[in-house]
Amino acid sequence: MAALIEIERLTKRFGGFTAVDDVSFTVDRGEVLGFLGPNGAGKSTTMRMLAGFMPPTSGTARICGADVVDQPVAAKRSLGFLPEGAPTYPEMTVTGFLGFTARIRGFRSSEADDRVARAMRMTQLEGVRLQSIETLSKGFKRRVGLAQALLHDPPVLVLDEPTDGLDPNQKHEVRELIRRMAPEKAIVISTHILEEVDAVCTRAIIIARGRVIVDAAPSVLEREGRSLEEVFRELTLGAPKQEAA
Ligand X SMILES: Nc1ncnc2c1ncn2[C@@H]1O[C@H](COP(=O)(O)OP(=O)(O)OP(=O)(O)O)[C@@H](O)[C@H]1O
Between 25 and 81, CB nearer to another protein:
81
Q: How far is the CB of 169 from ligand X (least distance, A)?
A: 24
Binding flag, residue 162, ligand X (CB under 6 A):
no
Binding flag, residue 212, another protein (CB under 8 A):
no
Alpha carbon dihedral 200, 4, 159, 126, in 10-degree steps, equals -90
What does each C-alpha distance from 152 to 117, 160, 176, 225 come to in angstroms? 12, 18, 19, 41
Binding flag, residue 245, ligand X (CB under 6 A):
yes
Binding flag, residue 14, ligand X (CB under 6 A):
yes
Binding flag, residue 96, ligand X (CB under 6 A):
no
Q: Looking at 37-45, 57-65, 150-158, 170-178, which segment touches ligand X (CB under 6 A)?
A: 37-45
CB 114 within 8 A of CB 103: no
Q: How far is the CB of 148 from another protein (least distance, A)?
A: 7
Nearest to 231 by CA among 37, 19, 24, 31: 37
Site for another protein in 76-105 (CB under 8 A): 76-77, 79, 81, 83-85, 87-92, 96, 100-101, 103-105
Q: Cα angle at 107 between 106 and 108, to 5 degrees?
A: 115
Binding flag, residue 223, another protein (CB under 8 A):
no
Strands of 83-169 (E only): list them: 156-160
H helix or E strand, kind and range, residue 19: strand 17-27
Residue closest to Mg ion (Cβ):
44
Binding flag, residue 41, ligand X (CB under 6 A):
yes
| Binds another protein (CB under 8 A): choice among 95, 148, 170, 236 | 148
Strands of 28-93 (E only): list them: 32-36, 58-63, 66-67, 79-82
Binding flag, residue 110, ligand X (CB under 6 A):
no
CB 232 within 8 A of CB 35: no
Between 112 and 149, CB nearer to ligand X:
149
Burial of 92 (0-12, 13-18, 19+ CB in 10 A): middle
Binding flag, residue 123, another protein (CB under 8 A):
no
Residue 27, helix vs strand vs coil: strand
Q: Which residues bind another protein (CB under 8 A)?
A: 48, 51-55, 72-74, 76-77, 79, 81, 83-85, 87-92, 96, 100-101, 103-106, 145, 148
Q: Which residues bind ligand X (CB under 6 A)?
A: 14, 19, 37, 39-45, 84, 245
